[in-house]
Amino acid sequence: MSAFYGMTARSLRGEPVTFKDYAGKAVLAVNTATHCGLAPQYAGLEALYGKYRDRGLVVLAFPCNQFGRQEPGDDEAIGQTCQRNYGVTFPVFGKIEVNGPGAHPLFQWLTARLPGLVGRRVRWNFTKFLIGRDGMPLKRFAPITAPARLEPAVRAALGA
């Protein structure tokens, strides 16, 4: 079984969520920030989720304040902004770190398996990681990659 399924994260309400709940789904894990210039990607992520969720895609958003302090709010403010500004219905988790000694285990694992241009670090908000239905990392996408451009990879991960 993939290490992904043994991990957990805290929901915006502070409750633990086990990634075992996503077994058999293709997962798009994204580090996000509501005050980032790329925040409009939330709408694109929601559109991708809406189009493919019935086929087994789940988008998981992980707010992070490590890049230009662009996620300064608390979990309640993050949730309100995601819902009000972008209509987000996919899971958004509590704020985490994605780089350094305090990095969440998910991002330690993803960056070790899918290093980017700057190695094992996440370069900026809205770096995207596609995880297959078997819980194995498939592909990493740059922050500027629009969610619509992920469709071919998502379809392949879904077996379409």
Confidence at residue 62, expressed as pLDDT on a 0 to 100 scale: 98
Q: How many CB atoms lie within 10 A of CB 90?
A: 19
Beta strands (DSSP E) in the chain are 8-10, 16-18, 26-32, 57-63, 128-131, 137-141
Confidence at residue 117, expressed as pLDDT on a 0 to 100 scale: 76
In the chain, pLDDT over 70 holds for what percent of residues? 99
Confidence at residue 55, expressed as pLDDT on a 0 to 100 scale: 97
Catalytic amino acids? Answer: 85
Confidence at residue 160, expressed as pLDDT on a 0 to 100 scale: 60
Confidence at residue 11, expressed as pLDDT on a 0 to 100 scale: 95
**CA–CA separation, 43 and 146 (whole Å):** 10
Q: Residue 152: which residues within 8 A CB-CB, separation 6 or more? A: none
* Fold category of 3-158 in CATH: Glutaredoxin (3.40.30)
Could you tell me the pTM of the whole model? Answer: 0.95
Confidence at residue 57, expressed as pLDDT on a 0 to 100 scale: 98
